[in-house]
Amino acid sequence: MAITARAIGLPRASRIILFSPWLDLSLKDPAALSIEPKDVMLGVDALRMCGEWWAGDLATSNPVLSPLADIKAWSLRRKLLGSD
């Protein structure tokens, strides 16, 4: 919703909370593969396929589907969210 509001020129929210178990459908972060053996829910290849199905005609990197794709400061993202 925040991305759509920005796109149509509405004022930006002062704060938002991204509450979702899946903030990047593409699972591009290489840390996902290192976490996979320790996480019973994280099957990287299967989730990438599901992300492509969910995205349909859109790219899995589309910020509407993958809000983290819109974050430009990747090092800041890592500091805030970590990899596990």
> Tens digit of pLDDT for each residue in 26-80?
888 888 888 888 887 778 898 899 999 989 999 998 888 887 777 654 555 555 5
pTM above 0.85, yes or no: no
Q: Could you tell me if 43 and 36 are in contact, meaning their C-beta atoms sit under 8 angstroms apart?
A: yes
Measured distance between the N- and C-terminal CA atoms of the chain, rounded to whole angstroms: 26
**Residues recorded for the chain:** 84
Residues 72 and 76: their CA atoms lie apart, in Å, by 9
- The DSSP call for residue 12 is P
Which burial class, exposed, middle or buried, applies to 25 when counting CB atoms under 10 A from its CB (0-12, 13-18, 19+)?
A: buried
